[in-house]
Amino acid sequence: MAKALKNGEKVGAACETAPEKEKIFTKEQLLNSERFREKRDLARAVLADGKKYSAEEAEKIMDKFLKGSVK
């Protein structure tokens, strides 16, 4: 049996504020998305074929690449 908390929620009850599981996409799905329309060439260059990414993860990879230093 679930234990009641001060605010009326019960321990073990589903939390409505919990974040949804991040959606993951293939490189091709990201390349075809409206969100990456302006960055298609960059995404094509830095994202690996056959690997899946969340949109946020792909953004971080591209930002890291752009902020990298020239050797």
Residue 55's pLDDT is 96
pLDDT on residue 70:
79
Is the Cβ–Cβ distance between 39 and 62 less than 8 Å? yes
Go through the chain and tell me how many residues it has. Answer: 71
Q: How far apart are alpha carbons 48 and 30 in whole angstroms?
A: 12
Single pTM value for the model: 0.66
**What tokens does 31 get?**
């390349």
The predicted pLDDT at position 25 comes to 97
Q: What is the pLDDT of residue 21?
A: 76
Q: How many CA atoms lie within 13 A of 39 on its CB side?
A: 19
Residue 4's DSSP bridge partners are: 10
In this prediction, the residues of the chain whose per-residue pLDDT falls under 70 are: 1-20
